[in-house]
Amino acid sequence: MFLGILSLKLSIPYNETIKEKRNIVRSLKDTVRKKFNVSVADVSEESYESFYTEVAIVGVSGDVSYLQSTFANIVNLLETMYQEYIVTHHMDIVSYLPDEASPFIT
């Protein structure tokens, strides 16, 4: 099993209220969730002073090439639709092989 994690740092500088910032982040999250079968969360610390926010996108698959392709498509979509907001992005794919003796796996 493979876990794909894509973290995005966004800059949303020209908003007067936190509500406008949340609407942009919500739109991004809904777009990615609707188009791809992944989980999306705003993982930034809530701060009224900061223009920066962080979003994490996570997917699970048994095929690493499927995850690589999915996350490449997500990045392409976001760079097309939200290019002015993306500061950085980083993708990791982690192999997870559960131990049969682990008491936490059912």
In a domain, 106, yes or no: no
Q: Which of 17, 12, 29, 2 is nearest to 91 (CA)?
A: 2
Tokens 């002015």, located at residue: 84
Whole-structure pTM value: 0.83
| Domain housing 51 | 2-95
60 assigned to some structural domain: yes
User: How far is Cα 106 from Cα 94, in angstroms, rounded to an integer?
Assistant: 21
Count of domains for the chain: 1
β-strand 2-11 against 39-42: which pairing, if any?
Answer: unpaired
CATH number of the domain residue 91 falls in: 3.30.70.1120
With bands split at pLDDT 50, 70 and 90, how would you rate the model's confidence at 18?
A: confident
pLDDT tens string 33-58 = 999 999 999 998 766 567 788 999 99
| 3-state secondary structure at position 40 | strand
Q: Is residue 104 part of a domain?
A: no
